[in-house]
């Protein structure tokens, strides 16, 4: 496990402590959960961009048209 030191304005630190307290978790756990969400978002974006780069725009538009006309 690694240690990460960050510098935050005091008011932001206090708000993060209040947020952690309201969720009954430590600031450390809160930061771990926030990092997990950020990484999941990043991974999803990378997967989307990778698939989009390999995709066929004409085929995609045809599929969307098909969905628009489906009842």
Q: What is the DSSP letter of 55?
A: S
* pLDDT for the residue 70: 80
Query: Is the pLDDT confidence value at 71 over 90?
Result: no
DSSP H or E stretch at residue 3: none
What is the rounded distance in angstroms from the CA atom of residue 56 to the CA atom of residue 64?
Answer: 12
What is the rounded distance in angstroms from the CA atom of residue 45 to the CA atom of residue 47?
Answer: 5
* pLDDT for the residue 24: 98
Q: For 12-70, what is each residue's pLDDT tens digit?
A: 999 999 999 999 999 999 999 999 999 999 999 999 999 999 999 999 899 999 999 98
* pLDDT for the residue 32: 97
* pLDDT for the residue 53: 93
């Amino acid at each position: 496990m690694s240690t990460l030191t960050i510098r935050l304005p005091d008011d932001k630190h206090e708000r993060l402590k209040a947020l952690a307290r309201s969720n009954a978790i430590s600031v450390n756990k809160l930061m771990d959960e926030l990092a997990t969400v950020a990484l999941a978002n990043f991974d999803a974006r990378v997967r989307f961009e990778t698939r989009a780069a390999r995709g066929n725009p004409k085929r995609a538009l045809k599929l969307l048209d098909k969905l628009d006309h489906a009842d």
